[in-house]
Structure 1
Amino acid sequence: MLRLVISRLASLAVTLLFVSLAIFLILEVLPGDPAAIMLGTSAREDTLAALRQELGLDRPALVRYVDWIGGLLQGDLGTSITYKMPVSTLVAERMSVTLPLSFLAILISTALALPLGVAAAARRDGPVDRAVLIFSQMGVAVPNFWIGLLFILFFSTRLGWFPAGGFPGWDAGIGPALQALLLPALALALPQAAVLTRVTRSATLEVIGADFVRTARAKGVNRRATLRRHVVPNALIPVTTILGLQLSFFFGGAILVENVFNLPGLGRLAYQALNQRDLVVIKDVVLIFSGFVIVVNFLVDIGYTILDPRLRSRA
């Protein structure tokens, strides 16, 4: 097991290195002047030259890349051209919204999908199964930002139960903060819950038809105990893989949802930086998103090994 973890960590480090190199090449090395992109083609030459010097664009590309990676390792993400403050400060402030939003969406999605998927499989072709299939089809068909708009119209504008947007900050208290995050989290969670429900149902049906389940039933184990002891633990193995992939969608999908609900999160920061052509912020935020995806895949790989005894024996 230790050898597997070390191998996966080495692969993770190499992947992060290649991703950072690709981001750097696309934003700073490929044809096009980053300074002209940030200031516009109508900017004066002396202004462009001053920005190139401020960003270090007059230095060799290899030196700039090494300095960027060295700064990242020390927690220095550079200084935003637009906000005139360290990017690390901006990211830390926005993470206090994006991370709770993503984790709340994960909890909602998992809490909905696992019971619904198992219940649908346990009562195949019954009313519960049909209702779950309708829910999953609707959830897959409707994008999260459209769900968010519908939530604002109904729960905020018409009923007035939740704020239509904005974030009061954690200083205002956990209650108001969670109230502001609940509708965005639901909008983010429902489409992924629909996908996870279908996967859970399929995985549960496959395990229900296995020989060891029929053997347990033949020995007199009741249906509920069979589901709890034998079916669900084995069905969780493929479900864990999909859930791990969905974590990346939760984090990335926050870009759209945060803009719909006007939340000051990392996704909105990326959107604003793109509009303002702040390549310093874009470069760091894209690497953070990419790094999150890579780390999540690493954790899912390790979790898959823990859940599946066959993989543990090989490790």
Structure 2
Amino acid sequence: MLRSALNRIFGMLIVMTLVVTIVFVIVRVTPGDPAAVMLGPDATAADIENLRERLGLNASIPQQFISYIGGVLRGDFGQSIFLNMPVTDALWQRAEPTFFLTVFSLLIASVIALPVGVLSAYWRGSLFDQAATTLAMFAASIPSFWLGLIFMQFFAVKLGWFDTSGYGGPGASFGERMHHLVLPAVTLGLISSALITRFTRASMLDVLNDDYVRTARSKGMSEWRVVVKHALKNALIPILTVIGLTAALLISGAIVTETVFGLPGVGSLIVSAVLRRDYPLIQGALLVVAGLYVLVNFIIDMLYLIVDPRVRY
């Protein structure tokens, strides 16, 4: 298991090296002078030259790359042009809403999808199976912003149970901030549950008729134990894969939902950085999101080894 973990860590380092290189190249291939693009058409020559010096663009490309790599290794992603603060501080200040939104959305999706997928496979062809499959396909086709607006109109505007936007004031308690995440988390959770439901159903159908399941039944085990302990456990590999992919997608896919609900998360920060052409902030956000993708995949790989020891061989 240790050898497998080390191999995967080595793969993570290679992937992140490629990501850092690509992010570095993005700014350098921008048409025109990157400093002029960031400052806009009204910038003076002196402003452009000062920004080039701040970003280290006056040095040669190899020197810039070495300096950029050194900053990344130290956790220094540069200085945000418009926020006038380190990129790491800007991302950290916005991390809480995005983190809890991702966690709650994934929990909601898993709580809905796993039981529905298992029961749908167990009662294959039944009315429940047909209804679950239809609803999963319907949920997968709904745009998150549209569902969010519908929930906002009904639960926030008409019923008044939730606020239409925001994350609470500066002195808001933790419970109040979490209350603002209910609608966006339910929105993302319902949409994300569709994919997990379909994969759970398909994975369970592959194992329910296997020999070891029939053997467990012939030994007189309860149907609940057969389905959960023997069938579901052996079907977890593809289910864990899709849950991991869903978690990674939620990290980056929360941009639209955060914008709709006015959440001050990383997603809305990236949108404003793109509109303002704040390249240091965009670069830092890309690196963080890519790192989270790689980390989630690593965690899923480690769970493979725990769920099915045969994977390590």
Normalised to the residue count of structure 1, the TM-score between the two structures is 0.95
Shift of 1:74: 2.0
Percent identity over the alignment?
39
Instruction: State the aligned residue count.
Output: 313
- SS of equivalent residue, structure 2 residue 94: helix
- SS of equivalent residue, structure 2 residue 202: helix
CA distance in 1, matches of 2:43, 2:87: 25
CA distance in 1, matches of 2:26, 2:74: 23
Q: 1:268-299, CA deviations, whole angstroms, 9 ceiling, x for partnerless residues?
A: 11000001111110010011111111111122
- Which amino acid is 2:296 matched to? V
5+ residue gaps, structure 1, are none
CA distance in 2, matches of 1:210, 1:22: 46
Match of residue 10 from structure 2: 10
CA distance in 2, matches of 1:95, 1:182: 17
- SS of equivalent residue, structure 2 residue 181: helix
> Does residue 1:120 correspond to 2:117, yes or no?
no
Match of residue 186 from structure 1: 186
- Which amino acid is 2:47 matched to? T
Question: How has the CA–CA distance of structure 1 residues 164 and 121 changed in structure 2, closer, same or farther, with 3 Å as cutoff?
Answer: same
CA distance in 2, matches of 1:262, 1:186: 15
Match of residue 271 from structure 1: 271
Match of residue 206 from structure 2: 206
Shift of 1:77: 2.2
Residue range with higher mean Cα deviation, 124-133 or 235-244: 124-133
Q: 1:208-246, CA deviations, whole angstroms, 9 ceiling, x for partnerless residues?
A: 111111111122222112112211111112100111111
CA distance in 2, matches of 1:42, 1:174: 43
- Which amino acid is 2:71 matched to? G
Question: How has the CA–CA distance of structure 1 residues 76 and 169 changed in structure 2, closer, same or farther, with 3 Å as cutoff?
Answer: farther
5+ residue gaps, structure 2, are none
- Which amino acid is 1:144 matched to? S
- Which amino acid is 1:129 matched to? D
CA distance in 1, matches of 2:32, 2:8: 36
Q: 1:145-185, CA deviations, whole angstroms, 9 ceiling, x for partnerless residues?
A: 21111111111111111111100168522221111001111
Match of residue 26 from structure 1: 26
> Does residue 1:58 correspond to 2:58, yes or no?
yes
Q: 1:252-277, CA deviations, whole angstroms, 9 ceiling, x for partnerless residues?
A: 11111110111000011100000111
- SS of equivalent residue, structure 1 residue 172: coil
Residue range with higher mean Cα deviation, 88-97 or 66-75: 66-75
Match of residue 300 from structure 1: 300
Match of residue 149 from structure 2: 149
CA distance in 2, matches of 1:234, 1:255: 35
CA distance in 2, matches of 1:131, 1:30: 50
Query: After TM superposition, which residue ranges in structure 1, 4 or more long, deviate above 3 angstroms?
Result: none
CA distance in 2, matches of 1:291, 1:177: 26
Match of residue 104 from structure 1: 104
Match of residue 44 from structure 1: 44
Shift of 1:32: 2.8
- SS of equivalent residue, structure 1 residue 11: helix
- Which amino acid is 2:118 matched to? V
Q: 1:83-106, CA deviations, whole angstroms, 9 ceiling, x for partnerless residues?
A: 111111111110011111111111
Q: 1:61-112, CA deviations, whole angstroms, 9 ceiling, x for partnerless residues?
A: 2222222222222222221110111111111110011111111111111111
- Which amino acid is 1:86 matched to? P
Question: How has the CA–CA distance of structure 1 residues 193 and 210 changed in structure 2, closer, same or farther, with 3 Å as cutoff?
Answer: same
CA distance in 1, matches of 2:128, 2:90: 46
Question: How has the CA–CA distance of structure 1 residues 299 and 170 changed in structure 2, closer, same or farther, with 3 Å as cutoff?
Answer: farther
Match of residue 236 from structure 2: 236
C-alpha contact (below 8 Å) 1:170/1:177 kept by paired residues? no
Normalised to the residue count of structure 2, the TM-score between the two structures is 0.96
